[in-house]
Each structure stands twice: as C-alpha cells, then as structure tokens.
Amino acid sequence: MSPSPIRGRVWVVGDNIDTDIISPRETISFGLGDAAEEEDVRRNAFRPIRPGFHNQVQPGDILVAGRNFGLGSHREPANRALVNLGFSAVIAESIARLFFRNAVAIGFYAFQVPGITGFVAEGEELEIDLAAWRVRNVTRGGTLPLEPYSPLIQTIIEQGGILGLAKARLAGPDRRPERIAERGGRGPTMT
C-alpha cells in the first residue's frame, strides 16, 4: 500500500539555515526532551530570522528551503522543532547529511529537490506524491521529481522513526519464543 500524498501550504526560508537558527541553542537543555522543553523549542524555532513563526505555521504545512539546510551542530532538537511546529515535511535545494539522518531517525520527511525554490512561492500549496515520487505545485501547476527513498528509509519513516521501528519489531511476530530459538536465542533481526 502506497503512503498517502502529503499536501500543505508552503513556507520558504533561504540558504544556509543552520541548526542554531532552527532551534537556538539557548532554548535547548539537552535533558529528556520533556513537554516544557519541546514547547520552548517550538516557540523559539526560527526566531533569529522569523520571530513569532510558531504562531503562523499550521499542522501539515511544508517548509521549503534553499541550499545547505540544517548545517551546523546537528542537534536532533532542530529536527524536532520542525515536527513541533507542525510541518509535515521539508523540501530543500540541499540538506546537510546529518540533518537528513536525524530526520529519518525521528520519522520526518526531508527531501532534496534541486530547483524547488524557483518552483514554489510562500503561501502556495504543494503535494508530495510518495507513490509517484514527485512534488506538484497545486497552486500553479507543474511537477518536479523526488529521489525515492530506499526501502529501509521509507520503512523507518513509516514506523515513526528508529524507535518506532524498534518497538514494532519487538512487539511483532519475531518475538515469539520459537522464532527466537530458530535464530539461536538472538532477538529480532533487522531486514
């Protein structure tokens, strides 16, 4: 079964948006990520370039960015800030490798699409079709291709991230005693 398309209003940011812009370092305690910290990160997300952004973004919106999105310290709270704001995905001209890896780890869609900033303007609507691997500008028309995720990355995202995948595996049929015995006493295998 193919995942449902992701559709949302677009917010645009420029090039070289680093993790200190996404989640200013003074808002992160590196604690357990409790509700109070999550709310503080959400309220301060993008504050250096868009004060009050947390009051504008609506659940399901899509963030479009220029080159080098997510460069910097590669703290996971920067990725969580996008989720806490309500974004369903980020599409950028290019994404820092570790930012992409953290996005997958938490089950958040992040795509590199060269030409995206000239393809859509803030306030327009995009649709991300994960079955056809393309992004469509609903407002003006036209499509751009998406590079398909590997089956493993798609599975991790669909399970809500690495922890979600691990929980599903631990709760799944591979936890039956006879399946563990077949593997010589080892727990679930990752496929």
What is the pTM (predicted TM-score) of this model?
0.85
Collect all residues with Cβ–Cβ distance below 8 Å to 4 and sequence separation of at least 6: 130
CATH H-level, domain 6-148: superfamily: Aconitase, domain 4 (3.20.19.10)
Structural domain boundaries of the chain?
6-148, 159-191
If one counts every other C-beta atom within 10 angstroms of the C-beta of residue 94, the result is 18
- Structure tokens belonging to residue 173: 């049929």
Give CA–CA dist 55/48, Å, rounded. Answer: 15
Categorize the per-residue pLDDT at 178 as very low, low, confident or very high, splitting at 50, 70 and 90.
Answer: very low
pLDDT tens digits, one per residue of 25-66 = 766 665 556 787 788 888 999 999 999 999 999 999 999 999
pLDDT at residue 85 tops 60: yes
Q: Look at residue 169 in the predicted model and tell me its pLDDT.
A: 86
What is the residue whose two structure tokens read 């659940």? 59
Identify the residue with better confidence: 141 or 77.
141
| Nearest CA among 4, 10, 5, 13 for reference residue 127 | 5
> Long-range contacts made by residues 24-30, C-beta under 8 angstroms, separation at least 24?
24/48, 25/73, 25/75, 28/75, 28/77
Burial 40-67 (b: 16+ CB within 10 A, else e): bbbbbbbbeeeeebbeebeeebbbbbbb
Question: Tell me: the pLDDT tens digits for 94-148?
Answer: 999 999 999 999 999 999 999 999 999 999 999 999 999 999 999 999 999 999 9
Q: Rounded distance, CA 87 to CA 107, Å? A: 12
At residue 12 the predicted structure's pLDDT band, cuts being 50, 70 and 90, is: very high
Burial of 178 (0-12, 13-18, 19+ CB in 10 A): exposed
Find how far residue 28's CA is from the centre of its chain: 19
Per-residue confidence (pLDDT) for residue 33, from 0 to 100: 63
State how far the Cα of 118 lies from the Cα of 39, in Å rounded to an integer: 33
